[in-house]
């Protein structure tokens, strides 16, 4: 499964690199689309795309949090694209991280 052409074009424009691989993420707490995306000359990223009114509002709130809060425990905000229909939030890919306790400093 691949994203729509509109979504892939918007992500590539925001990132500034061509996507080479889209892996859908089926886990999550909302109906937003979620992807792990690899790029030609940029690090991979975690992508969230709104799918309905509820996820539009949630992603806009999430973007405000990421754009105003910098903390070691949060993924880095990489990009944001809001076309008024389907906002896209682009975050640092933390999928290769190690999460079980005990946590290191």
pLDDT in tens, 40-77: 999 999 999 999 999 999 999 999 999 999 887 889 99
The CATH number given to whatever domain includes residue 67 is: 3.30.200.20
Residues spanned by the domain of 87: 5-92
- Is residue 78 included in any domain, yes or no? yes
pLDDT recorded at residue 37: 97
Higher pLDDT, 102 or 26: 26
User: What's the burial of 13, exposed, middle or buried (CB within 10 Å: 0-12/13-18/19+)?
Assistant: exposed
Structural domain total, the chain: 1
């Amino acid at each position: 499964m691949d994203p729509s052409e509109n979504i892939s074009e918007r992500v590539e424009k925001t990132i500034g690199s061509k996507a080479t691989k889209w892996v859908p993420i089926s886990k999550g707490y909302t109906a937003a689309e979620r992807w792990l995306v690899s790029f030609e000359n940029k690090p991979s990223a975690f992508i969230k795309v709104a799918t309905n009114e509820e996820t539009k509002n949630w992603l806009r709130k999430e973007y405000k949090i990421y754009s105003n809060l910098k903390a070691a425990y949060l993924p880095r905000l990489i990009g944001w694209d809001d076309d008024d229909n389907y906002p896209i939030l682009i975050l640092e890919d933390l999928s290769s991280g190690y999460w079980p306790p005990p946590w290191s400093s």
